[in-house]
Amino acid sequence: MKLLQYNTSVGLPELRQKLVKKMAWHDKIKTDNDHVMLTQGAQQGIDLTARLMLNKDDGLVVEGPTYIGALAAFQAYEPTFYEIPIKEDGMDVNFLEDTLKTHAVKMIYTVPDFQNPTGAVMSLEKRRQIIELANKYNVVILEDGTYRDLRYSGQNLPTIKSLDSEGRVIYVSSFSKILAPGLRLGWLTAEDKLFKALIGLKSGADIESSNLTMSIVNTYLDDNSLENHIALICNCYRQKKDAMLSAMRKNMPSIAQFTNPQGGFFIWLTMPKNFNMDKFVNQQQLSKSGVLIT
């Protein structure tokens, strides 16, 4: 049986073809079969990119705060981290520019859509500014679109990759949040030079993603429209988010402020500066375990 054999480091061609189409309609990314690779989740795309780009002490810009799993992947290559504060409309670009001006930075890692953990969505203006800055300071951008498909209201903004005219954005994404994380299936796309180097690293890491898993997902997508499936799960997640927000409005103290995100998994809660969050969290844990709180 073919699907129990080795196939190719970049992954099942039929599935890559579907992702080319998906990225064209959903993300406005123009790419082709020869520049898409299936990975073990977006996580492996992040790790391979870090392996390619980062040596000890190389400058790496990350949003503050950011996805902890990406930090774990980056840490292995011992870069120097520059943390750029994130606001509701994405990273602070003035702070970013100052950092790029004064430090040698090789790569920027960003989650522009429904960021983990803040839920922030980067504005279109900032997406354009970040690309301009990356061009000016010759920096590679690793764009993580893992939550991008989960939009419950409002309009999609262009991916940073779709604004990239110099081939300096590596775009990673995943089936984890739209099909199932246990599949361990994600993908990346990048321009020629970066892409070829990433193929070498992928085959060194694990030869290829599971042919069996890729075939299962490909067959599922032959029989089911991904677009319809995403619409269905967005409907379900929207209801969950609304239920969560109404419970928070009912139960949280009035000093608590929280966002109402247009998508993704994260509501960001802010308390006043003098609020003791450690004490609050400990109390919640105690109350969960049934110990009476006085």
Ligand X SMILES: Cc1ncc(COP(=O)(O)O)c(C=O)c1O
Single out the residue of 9, 62, 67, 161 in contact with ligand X (rule: CB under 6 A). 67
The residue range among 28-36, 37-45, 76-84, 221-229 that interacts with ligand X, by the rule CB under 6 A, is 37-45
Non-local (6+) Cβ contacts of 227 within 8 A are 25, 26
Cα separation values, 280 from 244, 250, 259, 266, 290, Å: 19, 18, 20, 20, 16
Contact characters 130-169, ligand X, x per CB under 6 A: --------------x-x-----------------------
The residue range among 87-95, 174-182, 203-211, 238-246 that interacts with ligand X, by the rule CB under 6 A, is 174-182
The residue range among 7-15, 38-46, 134-142, 158-166 that interacts with ligand X, by the rule CB under 6 A, is 38-46
- Nearest-CB residue to ligand X? 41
Euclidean distance between CA atoms 141 and 6, whole angstroms: 31
The residue range among 26-34, 41-49, 78-86, 91-99 that interacts with ligand X, by the rule CB under 6 A, is 41-49
Within a 10 A sphere around the Cβ of 191, how many other Cβ atoms?
16
Single out the residue of 7, 9, 31, 43 in contact with ligand X (rule: CB under 6 A). 43
Closest CB to ligand X among 173 and 218?
Answer: 173
Single out the residue of 11, 12, 41, 159 in contact with ligand X (rule: CB under 6 A). 41
Closest CB to ligand X among 138 and 233?
Answer: 233
Q: Which residue has the tokens 């301009």?
A: 132
Judged by CB under 6 A, the chain residues 222 through 261 that form the site for ligand X are: none
Q: Examine residue 42 and tell whether it contacts ligand X (CB under 6 A).
A: yes
Contact characters 92-111, ligand X, x per CB under 6 A: -------------------x
Residues in contact with ligand X, total (CB under 6 A)? 13
Q: Examine residue 218 and tell whether it contacts ligand X (CB under 6 A).
A: no
Non-local (6+) Cβ contacts of 39 within 8 A are 11, 45, 48, 172, 185, 186, 187, 188, 202, 209
Burial 71-89 (b: 16+ CB within 10 A, else e): eebbeebebeebebebbee
The residue range among 35-43, 134-142, 194-202, 249-257 that interacts with ligand X, by the rule CB under 6 A, is 35-43
Closest CB to ligand X among 182 and 272?
Answer: 182
The residue range among 23-31, 126-134, 173-181, 210-218 that interacts with ligand X, by the rule CB under 6 A, is 173-181
Interface residues with ligand X (CB under 6 A) are 41-43, 67, 69, 111, 116, 144, 146, 174, 176, 181, 186
